[in-house]
Amino acid sequence: MNILVINPNISLSVTELIHNEARRAALPDTRITMATAPFGVAYIETPGEAAVGAYATLQLLAQQQADHDVAVIAAFGDPGVAAAKELLDIPVVGLTESAVAAAFLLGGRFAIVGISQRIGAWYVQTVEQLGLSSRMTGYRGLKQGFASVGTVQHEAREVLREMCLSCVEQDGADSIILAGAPLAGLAREIADDVPVPLIDGVGSAIRMAEALGRAGYTPRRSGAMSPPPMKAHQGLQDGLASLIGRQP
């Protein structure tokens, strides 16, 4: 099983966090290939930034998808995930949809904890688009700044832990998603301190990717999510251009 994991942010420190947690979650015979966005922002926090990250991600997927069984887009909010599902023949999964699927299967209602307050509105919207907003108790995000997105989980560990406890004690959450690649691995480290399951987006996505890759689903050949039809285009990199017009 070969999994291509894309970090839509430019932060190499976050790519390392993703890779470390992906390896812990993966089966022994799974091979992980990492790629980092060549342009964009240090961490995606708004829909506008997500659009930039999505374009960078689609370029990387087009260039590197060959010889991979499945791809993971490793940013919460799932930038580019829906488009990649349409463009590629291999399965593509995102952190949000994978973490929310895990929360759904665990049962009850879930909360989301993240690294900033502003990002919460976008996360709530993403869950609404997945059709599971009725299962979400709410979002809690850091009010404080941080020195580096690659170390925020260590800088703000105690605050993040307290927010998780508030999600349980005040909001009635039955599970908690620690949102975003910068928090990869934190769920495992503080699990004993919080009385409900903590869900890691990276780990959830890797396990879901393995399941989809091993299932051997055939690519779509019709319908709204089938490959795009042939049409004139210009200015696209070769790899991305090759994904346009695959369906006559």
**pLDDT tens-digit profile of 42-86?**
999 899 999 999 999 999 999 999 999 999 999 999 999 999 999
Cβ neighbourhood burial of 53 (10 Å; 0-12, 13-18, 19+): buried
Q: In CATH, which of 2.120.10.30, 3.50.50.60, 3.40.50.12500, 3.40.50.300 is domain 96-201? A: 3.40.50.12500
The model's confidence at residue 23, banded by pLDDT at 50, 70 and 90, is very high
Segments of the chain assigned to CATH 3.40.50.12500 = 2-95+204-241, 96-201
3-state secondary structure of 207: helix
Whether the pLDDT of residue 144 is over 60: the answer is yes
DSSP assignment of 43-112 equals S--SHHHHHHHHHHHHHHHHHH-TT-SEEEE-STT-TTHHHHHHH-SS-EEEHHHHHHHHHHHH-S-EEE
CA distance 247 to 182: 38
pLDDT value of position 237: 84
The top-level CATH class assigned to 2-95+204-241 is alpha beta
- Dihedral sign for Cα atoms in the order 97, 103, 109, 112: negative
Q: What is the pLDDT of residues 210-239, one digit of tens each?
A: 999 999 899 888 888 888 888 888 888 888
**pLDDT tier for residue 246 given thresholds of 50, 70 and 90:** low
pTM of the model: 0.92
